[in-house]
Amino acid sequence: VLVELFTSQGCSSCPPADLLISQLGQAKSSDVALEVPIVVLGFHVEYWDFMGWKDPFANSTWTLRQRNYGQALQQDSIYTPEVVVQGRSHCIASSLEPILALIHQAPRFAAPDITVSFSLPRLRVLDTTMEAIIKFKVDKFTLDIMVALYENGLVTNCQKGENKGRILTNDFVVRSIAKAATLHDWPARKTVREHFKLPLWDTFNRTKCGAVVFLQNPSTMEVYGAQMVPLPEDL
């Protein structure tokens, strides 16, 4: 089950949610009464930057992603901190209980068989090769296979805005994302192979990063499964 947090360092309500999601992403199932494996991603939005603090991890693309969810889920407005579960439901990320409720209610799908290999031929570009077997038929809708790179252990001394004077910590922060493939009228268990590039950032450090592959309908924003992929030690 994919759990996405939309957050901002410029919002005073977000640091507790950041901590909550970090703990949720690192917890064992027995720690938080989880019944299913989850994958956590944090998307920093930039629409609070005008409050005085420019979030160094914010990206207008992530804001657009949240707006697409807002439209798909028929929300009156978007907000932070917001959690979206499996692309199908949302709640305020102020406490654990409603998030767990959405996780338990979320539909589950057979995990795809995915192999991803990475190489670093030059700075700021990650060559990526993916081979995946989707276990269900993709019929009458389109499915995007997305690959996201996230970073853990980010520490920021916030000097302005609503969180002025606070040391902010963030994990599972999405830094890069790419569409690996688009499937339509795809039979079950047919293999898809793709090669693509993931852009990197100046401070990329493999030991702090990981990758997530998830399947998403671009029209409805519904997610059909997610899987974490470790980065190789020789990057």
Amino acid 217 reads N
User: Looking up tokens 């993931």, which residue turns up?
Assistant: 198
Q: Are residues 194 and 135 in the same domain?
A: yes
Beta-sheet strand order (sheet of 138-151): 89-92, 82-85, 2-7, 39-44, 173-186, 138-151, 209-216, 223-229
pTM to 2 decimal places:
0.95
Q: Are residues 74 and 137 in the same domain?
A: no
Q: Are residues 7 and 83 in the same domain?
A: yes
Q: Are residues 138 and 225 in the same domain?
A: yes
Mean pLDDT in the chain? 94
Q: Are residues 125 and 217 in the same domain?
A: yes
Domain at 13, CATH number = 3.40.30
Range of the domain at 43: 2-105
In this model, does residue 32 exceed pLDDT 90? no
Residues 6+ apart with CB under 8 A from 4: 40, 41, 42, 43, 83, 84, 85
Query: Does residue 169 come out as left (phi exceeding 0), alpha (psi in the -120 to 50 range) or beta?
Result: beta
Q: Are residues 124 and 45 in the same domain?
A: no
Tell me the pLDDT tens digit for each residue of 131-190.
Answer: 999 999 998 899 999 999 999 999 999 999 999 999 999 999 999 999 999 999 999 999
Tell me the pLDDT tens digit for each residue of 151-168.
Answer: 999 999 999 999 999 999
Domain at 120, CATH number = 2.60.40.10
Tell me the pLDDT tens digit for each residue of 180-234.
Answer: 999 999 999 999 999 999 999 999 999 999 999 999 999 999 999 999 999 998 8
